[in-house]
Structures are given as structure tokens and as C-alpha cells.
Amino acid sequence: MKRRNFLKACLIGGTTIALGKTNKGYASGSFEGYPEAMGVLVDTTRCIGCRSCEAACNKEQKLPEPDTSFDDPAVFEHDRRPTSKAYTVVNRYQKEQPSGPVYRKVQCNHCNEPACLTSCFVNAYTKTQEGAVIYNSKVCVGCRNCMIACPFNAPGYDYDSATNPIVKKCILCYDTRLKYGKPPACVEICPQEALTFGHRADLIKLAHERIRATPERYVDHVYGEKEVGGTSWLYLAPVGFDKLGFDTTLSNDPIISNVKDFLGMVPMVLSIWPALFSGIHLLCKNQEHGEHGHETESNQEDTKP
């Protein structure tokens, strides 16, 4: 069992035990995100694995030099996931197939109902109306709840930095581009237009239209249209999504429906415990001072108008 899944199972299991039931009444799979939200449609049938998108992301987000060059095919030997030094990575699948390998770009999918956001008790995450899920390093306490909660393994943790920012992930180039209506750097550089930028609602129509027009090219599914309540990044694929490393076991309900109960307890613990401790502290103090403390208190009460 992968560590992440184990932790997730603990979260969900713990919740069930703690409350004796799962509260399905919270489930809210209907939220469509912001109506004007932007997004990116990734057509894996167009991607040639050139990794220009990785290089563009690296420059745009001022990330450190890569471990190995952006044209080194050796990286395809392993499955990679986004890290604090690379907000996006391209992986290769189906390489034994006669039809040739399929490449898939991975990054934060910018969920309509982000599990990272709801799992964060200091509100470090924001879903902007443009569709981006952005992150405020100033308030992050580094608890890494978001890393456990994210169904797509997106947030990376900066182990090298003792100070902020701690969690790092794709922000859809929010500060430098999206805010001004411009496409993210990876989309702009892609030579194959494997990445299409636009309004999320339009992209969904476009994706289904591509499937309709060339059904032999695609499996009939747009990944991200419904998964975990929908995401701003959408994918088209020539073969089953499970063959391209996608988690096809995710439900259409937002992740939050599973973990809300537990997550709701986090702030409760944080807010109740200090009160509890100060209560005990006060009690002890009063006992130390004995009768005197109580007399003062009652005197004060008596003098109230």
C-alpha cells in the first residue's frame, strides 16, 4: 500500500470510527465551480513528449535548475510526480504499443472543489474565480494535510527550505498570466497545441466535439469533467485512462464528501484545546489562591449595576 493511500485510509477510517457513521448528507457533487472559470484541455493524442511545457514552467515560476536537462529522454524511464522544484512533469506510457507511446502532462488539476483547500485549516488555499487554485505561503503552517487530501498527488513539499514557502504546486500562472486573461506558460509554448486554453465550459464542449468528430482517435470520456466534482484541467486519451496512470477509481463526488467529518474536527481540536487548557490553568490558579480569589470574584459581581 502506498504511504499516501495508507494515510488517506487512516483519515477516512478514523472518521468513521470517531463518529460511528459517515455523514453522507454532506455530499455535494453538484457544484460546478465558477461559471467563468478558465481551464486547459490536454489532448494526449497530440503530445509528443518534448517537455517544452516543463521548461516553460520552470522559467515562468522561477524554479531551480532541473536535475537533468529538459530534453533528456532518460526521465521517461520512471514515473514522476510534481515536486516543489517541478510543478509539472511529463510521463510516458504505452511505450510497448505499436501505435507508439502516449505522453501525459501531470500538474495540479485545479479542482472545482479542491480537497487541498478544504483540508487546510489555516485557509492557505484559494479557488479564484478564474479557476486557479492558489496558495498563500504566508499562512501555511506546513502540516501537509493538503498533500494527503489531494487525489492527484499534486502539492510538493519543500524539504530544503526551513522557512516559507513550504508547499508548492502549479498555480496556473495565476499571478503573472491568468489574472490578465493570458494562457499559462506551458500552454503558450506547446508546439503541438496538445494544450488548449479557454473557458472550462467551452473546453468540455470542444472535448466532446473532438470525440464525436474522430471517435477512432479517442476513448469516449473526458477525464476531469466529473471526477471529484470536476477539475479545470481536462484530458482526452486514445486508450483507457487507467493505462495512462490516471486514477480511475475516483468518484464524481468531491473528495471533501469523504473527509469533511474528519477535517471538521481539526479546527475543533485546535479551538477547544486551548480553551480546555486555559480552563484547567485558571482552576489551578484559583485553587492556589484559595478562598481569597473567590471572594474577590463575588465582590466584583456584587458591585455590578
Q: Which of 57, 116, 234, 236 binds ligand SF4 (CB under 6 A)?
A: 116
Does 150 bind ligand SF4 (CB under 6 A)? Our answer is yes
Half-sphere exposure of 128 (CA within 13 A, CB side): 18
Does 144 bind other proteins (CB under 8 A)? Our answer is no
Between CA 225 and CA 240, with CA 152 as vertex, the angle to 5 degrees is: 55
Comparing CB distances to other proteins, the nearer of 82 and 151 is 82
Measured between alpha carbons, how far is 204 from 108 in angstroms, rounded to an integer?
Answer: 18
Measured between alpha carbons, how far is 215 from 177 in angstroms, rounded to an integer?
Answer: 34
Comparing CB distances to other proteins, the nearer of 32 and 202 is 202
Q: Which of 152, 197, 223, 262 binds ligand SF4 (CB under 6 A)?
A: 152
Question: 160 to each of 81, 156, 164, how far by Cα in Å?
Answer: 18, 12, 10
Does 118 bind ligand SF4 (CB under 6 A)? Our answer is no
131 interacts with, out of other proteins, ligand SF4, none, CB within 5 to 8 A per kind = none
Name the minimum Å distance from CB 90 to ligand SF4.
5
Largest Cα–Cα separation, the chain: 91
Q: Which of 8, 92, 105, 221 binds ligand SF4 (CB under 6 A)?
A: 105
Encoded one letter per residue, x for contact with other proteins by CB under 8 A and - for no contact, window 94-133 reads ----------------------------------------
User: Between residue 2 and residue 41, which ones bind other proteins under the rule CB under 8 A?
Assistant: 2-4
Q: Which of 14, 22, 34, 46 binds other proteins (CB under 8 A)?
A: 46
Does 195 bind ligand SF4 (CB under 6 A)? Our answer is yes
Comparing CB distances to ligand SF4, the nearer of 116 and 166 is 116
237 interacts with, out of other proteins, ligand SF4, none, CB within 5 to 8 A per kind = none
Does 67 bind other proteins (CB under 8 A)? Our answer is yes
Contact between 223 and 79 (Cβ < 8 Å): no
Q: What residues form DSSP beta bridges with 199? A: 38
What is the secondary structure of 30-96 as a DSSP string?
T----TT-EEEEEETTT-----HHHHHHHHHTTPPPPSS-TT-GGGGGS-----SS-S-EEEEE-TT
Name the minimum Å distance from CB 20 to other proteins.
32
Kind and range of the H or E run holding 216:
none
Pairing of strands 195-199, 38-43: antiparallel
Closest by CA to 132, choosing from 171, 103, 101, 87, is 171
172 interacts with, out of other proteins, ligand SF4, none, CB within 5 to 8 A per kind = none
Comparing CB distances to other proteins, the nearer of 202 and 295 is 202
Closest by CA to 69, choosing from 87, 83, 44, 50, is 50
Number of H helices, E strands in the chain: 8, 9
- Chain contacts with ligand SF4 (rule: CB under 6 A): 47-53, 90, 103, 105, 108-111, 114-116, 133, 150, 152, 154-155, 169, 189-190, 192, 194-195
- Chain contacts with other proteins (rule: CB under 8 A): 2-4, 46, 48, 50, 52, 55-56, 58-60, 65-72, 74-75, 78-83, 86, 89, 156, 180-183, 185, 187-193, 196-199, 202, 205-206, 209-210, 213
